[in-house]
Amino acid sequence: MRTQVGIVGAGPAGLLLSHLLALQGIESVVLENRSREYVEARIRAGVLEHDTVDVLIETGVGDRMQREGLVHEGLELRVDGHGTRIPLTELTGRRIMVYGQQEVVKDLIAHRLADGGTVLFEAEATSISGIDSDEAVIRFTQDGEEHELACDVVAGCDGFHGISRAAMPDHAYRERVHDYPFGWLGITAEVPPSTDELIYTWHERGFALHSLRSPELSRLYVQCDPGDDIEQWPDEAIWAELQTRMARAGWTLKQGPIVEKAITPMRGFVTEPMQHGRLYLAGDAAHIVPPTGAKGLNLAVADVRVLADGLAAWYADGRTDLLDRYSETALKRVWKVQHFSTWMTHMLHTFPNDPDGFFRRVQRAQLDYVTGSRAAATSLAEFYVGLPTIIRSDEEPSLREL
């Protein structure tokens, strides 16, 4: 097989990149080691930044999102039963959309296949070679047979555990990692949300979050030990912990059947650079942020917008400058988002080894400042709705927004 861009991974990054390239007349093949049914059912993040929403609409894959997504113009910070609303739209003029990542994936898959795009499911990439030459090769297996996909460029969008990052020479990149001493126990419940906007809760027993998925589905999280076994958390224990942490006078947390639950460790991770030769990493293959800031999917979208623009300039005009600066451009945003996600995580979670409560008092001071200062609330709001995606338009130092 031969294509222009070989894409490993059919998550939001790989599928959106394929879609953006197709709009520029650039061919691609997407390889996904899981089945279509698995990928479309995989529950992940659900908060879309302002620019993520806009790019899906502007490129023709946002119709269902506009019908079914939930527009939010604020969020609540809740501390010891007292809530403060952060008015995101009032402070920034921008908004967020709650629309499950798996729904974005469904829309992108349907659109790519309807347009004649090639997305190969249950096609496991086993090796990537030739990234220092003019033609790279992705070897993969499908239906028990081995295949080769030759391409000009490889986009590694296969997540933290994929093969793409491992295809980079050891000397060509560095990994920076921070593991947190806690995780999130996330549940999806068949019950109408108890809130119209997300609620982030600080409690001495640990962090809790009430998110939404639809008018019929709620998504909730509690801070837990990352080493916990999910069997240690029967449904009644989860609801009891949520009721305790999120309690507020005059407010009721609705309970219903839990249809999905899992424990996710929390990690910060960045690969520098995000490219070598003909291989470009995007999304979780290049970086992971703690989920407190709701940035994982949005950061992947920002990556592929920059990468697609660079590939379009290369194929159309032979320009290499945008591709050469892909890592430099993407990493500026990555580290700002790491900062925000780390800040939110440190402000809202209880940490072990704080016997005299020093760190908790610092957290309370942070929360008092954010909820009492318009300037501090604006800073949170600007990050939460999303920083603009930018690229260098030419050799001049000025920046333009995509």
Active-site residue 291, yes or no?
Answer: yes
Q: Which residues, 6 or more positions from 392, have their beta carbon under 8 angstroms from its beta carbon?
A: 321, 322, 325, 329, 399
Tell me how far apart the alpha carbons of residues 372 and 233 are, in angstroms, rounded to a whole number. Answer: 36
Catalytic one of 12, 50, 111, 200: 200
Work out whether strand 47-48 and strand 70-72 pair parallel, antiparallel, or are unpaired: unpaired
Catalytic one of 99, 221, 280, 384: 384
End-to-end CA distance of the chain: 33
Catalytic one of 203, 287, 295, 349: 295
Active-site residue 200, yes or no?
Answer: yes
Active-site residue 72, yes or no?
Answer: yes
Burial state string for 313-323 with b = 16 or more CB within 10 A and e = fewer than 16: bbbeeeeeebb
Active-site residue 384, yes or no?
Answer: yes
Tell me how far apart the alpha carbons of residues 268 and 154 are, in angstroms, rounded to a whole number. Answer: 25
DSSP H helix total and E strand total for the chain: 12, 21
Tell me how far apart the alpha carbons of residues 205 and 156 are, in angstroms, rounded to a whole number. Answer: 39
Tell me how far apart the alpha carbons of residues 96 and 77 are, in angstroms, rounded to a whole number. Answer: 16
Tell me how far apart the alpha carbons of residues 260 and 219 are, in angstroms, rounded to a whole number. Answer: 9
Catalytic one of 12, 19, 50, 72: 72
Q: Which residues, 6 or more positions from 362, have their beta carbon under 8 angstroms from its beta carbon?
A: none
Catalytic one of 180, 280, 291, 315: 291
The phi and psi torsions of 97 (rounded to 5 degrees) equal: -130, 130
Q: Which residues are catalytic?
A: 72, 200, 291, 295, 384
